[in-house]
Structure 1
């Protein structure tokens, strides 16, 4: 029997818990595992893709820390796994402060338990589609000084906002509150080599999850999210091509979706 959490319907798959399953985690329900297996059927490269996304997270956070950033805001953080933002940041710069934001109650429960003894890192409830509420949260403003540079991470989350204008507004709202010297990291789902039928099946699958949708975008559409930022080299590129490090694995030549990633600096 699966453990019940207040406010959670275990019959409704959660994108955070699907992602957890794809990474080999155990914080998921039968509905999440069933949905994840359907995703794997549609996109055989998806397990490798989410692991590639985690490697990008590590590289992006280290890059931000190297520029002098000591504050990080990760929205749509997902369930704790290996090489989380706080682990990477604190290893490079032990004085760093990290705020995780997610709208899944299980993420909050597990994250707060994991970080109970870490007063430099907090986990808050919030929804990317309501950026004003996140920025106005007194816990955010207490933990982060928005007058100083912040590393903002929107990893594998913007594709759950289907409306392009809404997604652009969300990013612009966050950008306009960041201090010069801040950085933005984005990873975003793209179409890969999926045909229209598989894309349709994938969209239908995500309508049954807590997110309600998943919308792949082209590289040109994703680049627009960096308006106002200066993209650092190598620009917006496939996930494995952003500053790969020696020993990093490459995505195998399996069919499925792909993703684009980038990091921008705010002048």
Structure 2
């Protein structure tokens, strides 16, 4: 059975005082979080070391990174390696978020290397995929999303991909005024699961976690998480408000 996962992507938000207060607010709500779901926070990289110490004894909440490079070390100014993340006991790392693809030109080959590097160091990749508005309106979105997954993930073994979390982002419905319905989200999630099953077998297809990376809020989380193939969410803005993030965790 797929693991239920709730990951908060804080993006480039909050100064240090604000970020530390958010962690403290989350810890105060510890007993109110759904214990059946894996809770992950992905703060800005400059805060990871401090939060690793704060969360060291908090087994119910996992620490994630928003990005990494594929090399273990070397002359890569400004980058963070999987080895460095692992040394801070980071459990998850987002790979290929639409903003990384669009603003920093990350391609299939690079994302494949990042995913493999994270797996080699025991860090769970949260691999993002999804289509822009023009792709959705051209009605080639199914093929587009499948290509993203196949090009970056299908060189992995069945054992390796079973350790990956896939996050579907309907980029066309983020900040455009358009809304993705639960049924539209479920369509792509089911398609992803079917394609993974066809390639890697029924066991992997059933167990892989596929989460929703659209605009998931307390108001729509229950409807989204009720869908057969949606195993949680990669939460943006709502993860910056402790009570909202907690409420979403109880929407499964």
TM category, shorter: 0.3 to 0.5
**Which structure shows the bigger proportion of residues in helix conformation?**
2
TM normalised by structure 2 equals 0.38
